[in-house]
């Protein structure tokens, strides 16, 4: 094998992700399930290939990079009670039910839990998705949150300084009051992490359970005038803004 052959080989999960077929994590699952072959042989995690010369197949279907060159970036308003996946074994409504007419397979970047709504980014650009999900990037995500009770100054300070959860201390959050009445109130929170159900857990710790949660912005991309279930392509300005942050 010559030197040029060696440097062109990459890990299979990276190849599959960069072609926009699925996320890197899902690609690893496909490999573990024995659904990926290279030149007719089933491969294991850690295997490498040259996308230009090796025959890579998923479920018997050839991966062709020439058909995956068009990069697509979408923002979507996920409604409540919608699963942030393209398929669901339990038969629940998924994001895939709403994204029609794109012409290529896109997948969600990150998650919004089942009972939350708001902004979700979808793409077929695996490198873009991986950068957006990297913890070290500390991508800001902003939410409008309806909580039970009225947030007092002491708890506001705790949220701004960080809350100790079971999986460690959170980073400081930007928190502002929006409106209130005697029973509940709305606040705006910006966090820089992606822990599971993080905002719900933070507010539970200060005795203000969440009754509604809507993500309104991700790193300068705003939900805008989108209504639940609607989507649109990112504008060049929105995309350039995110790319500059990377």
CA distance 233 to 86: 18
CB-CB contact of 16 with 27 (8 Å): yes
Closest CA to 52 of 103, 20, 123, 4: 4
CA distance linking residue 219 with residue 194, whole number of Å: 13
Phi, psi at residue 100, to the nearest 5°? -120, 150
Q: Are 216 and 113 in contact (CB under 8 A)?
A: no
DSSP classification of residue 171? P
Contact call for residues 122 and 109 (beta carbons, < 8 A): yes
Residues near 179 by Cβ (< 8 Å), separated by ≥ 6? 185, 186
Q: How far apart are CA 114 and CA 133, in angstroms?
A: 19
Pick the catalytic residue: 113, 127, 166, 167? Answer: 113
Catalytic, 113? Answer: yes
CA gap 77, 56 in Å, rounded: 34
Instruction: List the catalytic residues.
Output: 113
């Amino acid at each position: 094998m010559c030197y040029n052959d060696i440097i062109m080989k990459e890990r299979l999960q990276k190849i599959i992700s960069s072609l926009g077929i699925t996320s890197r994590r899902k690609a690893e699952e496909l490999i573990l399930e024995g659904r990926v072959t290279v030149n007719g042989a089933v491969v294991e995690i850690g295997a490498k290939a040259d996308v230009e010369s090796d025959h890579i197949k998923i479920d018997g279907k050839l991966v062709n990079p020439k058909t995956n060159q068009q990069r697509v970036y979408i923002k979507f308003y996920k409604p409540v009670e919608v699963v942030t996946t393209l398929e669901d074994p339990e038969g629940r409504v998924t994001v895939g039910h709403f994204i029609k007419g794109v012409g290529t397979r896109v997948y969600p970047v990150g998650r919004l839990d089942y009972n939350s709504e708001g902004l979700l980014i979808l793409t077929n650009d695996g490198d873009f998705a991986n950068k957006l999900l990297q913890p070290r990037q500390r991508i800001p995500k902003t939410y409008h949150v309806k909580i039970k009770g009225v947030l007092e100054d002491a708890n506001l300070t705790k949220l701004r300084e960080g809350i100790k959860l079971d999986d460690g201390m959170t980073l400081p959050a930007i928190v502002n009051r929006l409106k209130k009445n005697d029973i509940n109130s709305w606040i705006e929170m910006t966090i820089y992490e992606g822990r599971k159900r993080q905002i719900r857990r933070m507010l539970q710790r200060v005795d203000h359970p969440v009754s509604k949660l809507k993500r309104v912005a991700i790193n300068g991309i705003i939900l805008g005038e989108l209504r639940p279930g609607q989507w649109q392509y990112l504008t060049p300005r929105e995309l350039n803004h995110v790319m500059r942050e990377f």
